[in-house]
């Protein structure tokens, strides 16, 4: 079982907070599916002979691609791998790009899950984030997706904005839950280096939100999700039963994935690869059949640390029995020793041989996981 991720690096306009790799829209778009097809045939052995369980078009802005282009790439994949009607095929779309033709086209191409970059249902916040759409278009896009046959709809929201409040967050959340969506991704705003927001923060043009508001917003998210039947299965992800993102979950559960396109990451259990974050270098690498990528072979300790930092983000936690089976005693014992103070204070729990961070402490998970990972002296 494996996943395929296709990074679509084209954006009409760069959002002020986003640090995913993207370039403007350009003539390069038309050649893109052909390059992806070629990269797939060059790198398919990375996940050789595995059934493809999920395919994910992420961005950038995948909705800058025509349905026929999506269709072309999905057909390319099906030539090399087995895809069933059960394969989760997701595309991220921008509310501003959505139209009936687009949605119908994607659906006909085989897309069965749609993830809409709503971010907020409040105009001021959308303006602040540098999004192309307004609140009305946001709501409209969800309704349009529902009306055009998509049952499995996810939306993204951002909280912790400097101009947000508990009430504004409540408004966006309630609006989201009132629509017939199955999945919700909620990210606290982070200020990444190299983004406009990162610079503005550094130059003190904007100020981070007060920590206590962040925490109340996070608590509100937990509270409302329980009321509406959503499960918070990962720090930033919530879903109705059986509607968790299988693709994203594979990242947290150590399932192999092949990433295609510039800056895409791949993983197959023993090795991680990441493509060049330069469109031209990536494209030339594909044309010349020498993919421009870097890689890292994972040793036991690295695998161990990755397992901790991915699994403990989720509701499923970390199974200690299989951990003990797969890793040497010293690593496991040292980790359990580091865990002791947190087990005492309830910031970690072990139930049925499963190590977890209880949901109310997920907001301090970096510090906890940071204590548990093991490094050489």
Partner 1 sequence: MDNIRNFCIIAHIDHGKSTLADRLLDLTHTLTERESQNQVLDSMELEREKGITIKSHAIQMEYVYEGTNYLLNLIDTPGHVDFSYEVSRAIASCEGALLIVDATQGIQAQTISNLYLALNHDLEIIPVVNKIDMDAAMVEDVKDQIVDLIGCKRDTILSVSAKTGEGVPAILDEIIKRVKPPQGDSEAPLQALIFDSVFNQFRGIIAYFKIFNGTIKKGDKVKFFNTGQEYEADEVGILRLKLVPRGSLNAGNVGYIISGIKESKEVKVGDTITHIERPCDKAIDGFADVKPMVFAGLYPVDADEYEDLRASLDKLRLNDASLTYEPESSLALGFGFRCGFLGLLHMEIVQERLYREFDIDVITTVPNVSYKVHTTKGEIIEVHNPSGLPAPTVIDHIEEPVINAQVITKSEYLGGVMKLCIDKRGILKNQVFLTSDRVELTFRLPLSDIVFDFYDKLKSISRGYASFDYHLDGFQTATLVKLDILLNGEMVDALSSLIHRDYAYDFGRKMCEKLRELIPRQQFDIAIQAAIGAKIIARETVKALRKDVTAKCYGGDITRKRKLLEKQKKGKKRMRQIGTVEVPQEAFLAVLKMD
* CB of 292 closer than 8 Å to CB of 262: no
Among 200, 272, 316, 324, binds partner 1 (CB under 8 A): 272
296 binds partner 1 (CB under 8 A): yes
Among 46, 197, 252, 282, binds partner 1 (CB under 8 A): 252
Question: Of the two residues 67 and 117, which places its CB atom closer to partner 1 in the complex?
Answer: 117
* CB of 139 closer than 8 Å to CB of 126: no
Among 6, 305, 318, 335, binds partner 1 (CB under 8 A): 305
Residue 306 neighbours by CB distance under 10 Å: 15
Question: Of the two residues 163 and 190, which places its CB atom closer to partner 1 in the complex?
Answer: 190
Among 183, 244, 246, 313, binds partner 1 (CB under 8 A): 313
Among 61, 94, 195, 248, binds partner 1 (CB under 8 A): 248
Site size toward partner 1 (CB under 8 A) is 49
**344: which residues sit within 8 A by CB, 6+ positions away?**
none
Among 266, 268, 283, 331, binds partner 1 (CB under 8 A): 266
Question: Of the two residues 150 and 257, which places its CB atom closer to partner 1 in the complex?
Answer: 257
CA nearest 218: which of 365, 371, 317, 345? 365
Decide the pairing of beta strands 265-267 and 271-275: antiparallel
From the CB of 264, what's the least distance to partner 1, in Å? Answer: 7
The enclosing H or E element of 301 equals helix 300-311
Tokens standing for residue 65:
């691609």
* Cis previous bond, 234, omega within 30: no
Question: Of the two residues 94 and 305, which places its CB atom closer to partner 1 in the complex?
Answer: 305
Question: Of the two residues 112 and 268, which places its CB atom closer to partner 1 in the complex?
Answer: 268
377 binds partner 1 (CB under 8 A): yes
264 binds partner 1 (CB under 8 A): yes
DSSP 348: S
Site string for partner 1, 167-196 (x = CB under 8 A): --------------------xxxx------
The Cα 351–Cα 208 span in angstroms is: 37
The Cα 276–Cα 253 span in angstroms is: 25
The Cα 309–Cα 277 span in angstroms is: 24
The Cα 216–Cα 4 span in angstroms is: 36
Binding segment toward partner 1, per CB under 8 A, in 82-90, 134-142, 224-232, 261-269: 261-269
From the CB of 135, what's the least distance to partner 1, in Å? Answer: 22
The Cα 337–Cα 335 span in angstroms is: 5
CA 238 to chain centre: 12
Greatest alpha-carbon pair distance for the chain in Å reads 59
Site string for partner 1, 73-112 (x = CB under 8 A): ----------------------------------------
SS3 6: strand
User: What residues line the site for partner 1 (CB under 8 A)?
Assistant: 5, 7, 20, 58, 187-190, 211-212, 214-215, 218, 235-236, 248, 251-252, 257, 259, 264-267, 272, 274, 296, 302, 305-306, 309-310, 313, 342, 345, 347, 362-371, 373, 375, 377
């Amino acid at each position: 079982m494996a996943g395929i991720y296709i990074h679509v690096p084209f954006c009409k306009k760069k959002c002020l907070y986003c640090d995913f790799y993207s370039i403007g829209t350009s003539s390069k778009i038309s050649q893109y599916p052909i390059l992806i097809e070629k990269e797939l045939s060059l790198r398919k052995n990375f996940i050789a002979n595995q059934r493809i369980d999920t395919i994910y078009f992420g961005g950038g802005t995948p909705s800058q691609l025509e349905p026929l282009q999506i269709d072309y790439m999905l057909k390319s994949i099906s030539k090399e791998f087995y895809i069933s009607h059960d394969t989760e095929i997701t595309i991220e779309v921008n509310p501003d790009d959505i139209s009936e033709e687009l949605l119908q086209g994607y659906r006909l191409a085989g897309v069965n899950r749609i993830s809409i970059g709503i971010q907020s249902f409040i105009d001021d916040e959308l303006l602040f984030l540098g999004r192309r759409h307004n609140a009305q278009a946001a709501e409209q896009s969800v309704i349009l997706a529902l009306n055009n046959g998509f049952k499995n709809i996810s939306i993204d929201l951002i909280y912790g904005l400097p101009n947000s409040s508990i009430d504004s967050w409540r408004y966006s959340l309630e609006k989201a839950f009132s629509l017939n969506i199955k999945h919700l991704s909620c990210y606290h705003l982070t200020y990444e280096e190299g983004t406009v927001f990162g610079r503005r923060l550094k130059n003190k043009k904007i100020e981070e939100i007060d920590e206590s508001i962040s925490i109340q917003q996070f608590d509100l998210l937990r509270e409302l999700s329980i009321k509406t039947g959503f499960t918070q299965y990962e720090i930033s992800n919530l879903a109705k039963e059986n509607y968790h993102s299988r693709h994203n979950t594979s990242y947290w559960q150590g399932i192999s994935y092949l990433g295609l396109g510039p800056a895409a990451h791949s993983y197959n259990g023993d090795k991680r690869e990441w493509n060049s974050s330069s469109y031209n270098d990536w494209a030339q690498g594909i044309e010349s059949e020498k993919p421009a990528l870097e890689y890292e072979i994972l040793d036991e300790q690295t695998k161990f640390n990755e397992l901790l930092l991915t699994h403990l983000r989720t509701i499923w936690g970390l199974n200690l029995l299989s951990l003990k089976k797969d890793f040497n005693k010293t690593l496991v014992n040292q980790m359990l020793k580091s865990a002791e103070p947190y087990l005492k204070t309830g910031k970690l729990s072990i139930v049925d041989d499963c190590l977890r961070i209880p949901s109310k402490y997920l907001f301090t998970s970096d510090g906890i996981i940071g204590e548990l990972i093991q490094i050489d002296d």
